[in-house]
Structure formats: C-alpha cells, structure tokens
Amino acid sequence: MMDFNRVSLEIGGVVGTIRLNHPEVLNALSHEMIEGLQQALDAVAESDSPVRCVVLTGTGRAFSSGANLQGRLTRGATGKATSAAAGVLLEAMLHPLLRRLRNLNVPFITAVNGAAAGAGMSLALFGDLILCARSAYFLQAFRRVGLVPDGGSTWLLPRLIGRARALELSLLGERLPADTALAWGLVNRVYDDEALLPETVKLAGELAAGPTLTLGMTRKLYWESEGNSFEEQIDLEQRTQRLAGTTDDYREGVKAFLEKRAAAFQGK
C-alpha cells in the first residue's frame, strides 16, 4: 500500500486500485487530494510498474461529494467562497487530472461505492467501465450552491444519457439512484454493496490479462470519436489498426487462435 495526499494506491498483481481517502468530508476533492491522485498515477506509470488496469474508488460511504467547499482553493482572501476561487481548482488542478485520465494507456474502471456528487460525479463518469454499489447515487449538486456543472459533465452527460435527461439532472439537482442510472445507460453494472469491490477487482483482472496496449488504443479511439466526422474516424481507425498490428500481443493472439489455445497477452 502506498499513501499519498488524501489518496492511497494498492497494487495487486497487475491491477492498481486508487482510493480517494478523506472520508471525514466524504472524499471531497481538494488541492491536496488532486495532487495525491496525480502522484498515484505517476506511480502507476513508472516504467517498472506491473499495473495494466486502474481502478478508482472511494473510502468510506462516498465515492466523492464534489469540490471541498471548505478548502482554500474555493475561497478567496477574505475566506468567503468566490467564483474566481472556484475556477482555480478547475483550471489549475482538475482539468489536468481529467485530461490525464482521458489519455491513460490502460483500461480505467470507476467503482462508485456511495455518493458521487458535483465534480465527484464527473470524475466517476470518466471510467471506461462505471460500476456501482446498489446504494450509490449520482447528484448534479452545482445548482444547490449557485454554480454551473463542471468537470466535463456538460460534455459527458448529453452523450451518455441524452440532452433531456442531462438537463433534468442539472436543473433539478435530484438524486439519481444506481439502478436508475443503469436503466438510463449512465453506468455499466450495479452490484450489491458488499460485492462491488470483489466484482470490480475480478473484472479489472480480466481486462489486465488482455492485450492492454491495444485496449488503451481502443479507449482513445472512442474518446476521439466524439469530435470526429465519420471519415476522420475511419481514417483514425486505420492508422491505429496499423499500429496495433505491430504489437507482440497481435502476433500472440493470432498464434493462439491458430493453435486453438488461450492467448497469453503481455501488454506489449
């Protein structure tokens, strides 16, 4: 176990589990926590790291309650919350983290163990696979404090669940239970609370045993597809496929297929 600022990292074989670790404030995002997340991702990215799939979850009864409104980055010199101070956390801290998660080279799973509110909801939605405890819920909490949605949620939500439902969540600020989120297509799977982490680790292990170099390419193709025309996307697929065809895992996959055995992928 490695401990960073308000974050811990546990590497079990080829799976790295990152935990938001400030349960006293329901894992509210702060300057310190975001620094800790970057440090954990640095450790995962080390050249000698065995990690081939990353899991992000929360400690305690919440995934993340959003920005820490008591933190110094959401308050001005007078100690009062200000719009300028609220923007500092986004531009200086959160946006670089989100861009890094978007560009990870390995599969990324979020395991939503409880409340995911505000920017915490945005962070949860960055998973390639979004898994939930049955008691978890999502909340666009911004309207409750007089702010607009951020953390990429106005980009993500319409693409995941459509404009009407995205606006409903953002304008009304109502809780979205895990089972409804599943029915709406916002998340991939819902588990009983006690089964969430075991099932997440099991699924992460399956991904990590796969051709993770090309799985990383696959996740990037889907991110790029949102802004590409059809012609641009099929050209990108062609260029990426040529690169995938040079990997050791492709050669192993073909050999295993011909030999009628399970492939032993190495992520190379």
Q: Is residue 33 part of a domain?
A: yes
- Its domain, for residue 225, covers 212-258
What does the pLDDT average to over 205-226?
Answer: 96
171, 189: one domain: yes
For residues 254 and 178, membership in a common domain is answered with no
Question: What would the mean pLDDT of 220-234 be, rounded to a whole number?
Answer: 95
Whether residue 73 is predicted with pLDDT greater than 90 in this model: the reply is no
Give me the pLDDT at residue 78, please: 47
pLDDT on residue 89 = 67
Residues 122, 13 share a domain:
yes
**Model confidence, pTM:** 0.92
Average pLDDT over residues 128-156: 95
The whole-number pLDDT of residue 48 equals: 87
The helix-helix angle for 212-225 and 248-258 (nearest 10°) equals: 110
What is the average pLDDT across 55-71? 90
For the chain, give the percent of residues with pLDDT over 70. 93
114 and 37 within one domain: yes
Asked if the model's pLDDT at residue 81 lies above 90, the reply is no
Which is more confident, 56 or 82?
56
Classify residue 11: in a domain, yes or no: yes
The burial class, CB within 10 Å (0-12 / 13-18 / 19+), for 229 is exposed
Q: Checking phi first, is residue 219 left (phi over 0); if not, alpha (psi -120 to 50) or beta?
A: alpha
Residue (of 50, 38, 4) closest to 204 by Cα position = 50
Number of domains forming the structure of the chain: 2
Confirm whether 266 is domain-assigned: no
Same domain membership, residue 150 and residue 73? yes
197 and 226 together in one domain? no
Give me the mean pLDDT over the 182-194 stretch. 98
Instruction: Say if residue 221 is in the same domain as residue 202.
Output: no
Instruction: Say whether both 160 and 223 belong to one domain.
Output: no
Residue 137 lies in a domain: yes
Picking from 214, 240, 216, the residue whose alpha carbon sits closest to that of residue 106 is 216
- One domain, residues 233 and 154: no
- Is the pLDDT confidence value at 6 over 70? yes
In a domain, 265, yes or no: no
Q: What is the domain-level CATH number for residue 105?
A: 3.90.226.10
* Residue 74: per-residue pLDDT: 46
pLDDT digit string, tens, across residues 242-256: 999 999 999 999 999
Residues 193 and 224 in one domain: no
242 part of a folded domain: yes
Is residue 78 within 8 A of residue 22, CB to CB? The reply is no
On whether the CB atoms of residues 216 and 51 are closer than 8 A, the answer is no
How do residues 83-125 score in pLDDT, each as one tens digit?
555 666 677 789 999 999 999 999 999 999 999 999 999 999 9
In a domain, residue 268? The reply is no
The pLDDT of residue 85:
58
Q: Say yes or no: 59 and 39 in one domain.
A: yes
* Per-residue confidence (pLDDT) for residue 69, from 0 to 100: 74
pLDDT of residue 137: 98
pLDDT at 80: 54
Q: Tell me which of 43-47, 174-178, 227-231 is least confident.
A: 43-47
Residue 77 scores a pLDDT above 80? no
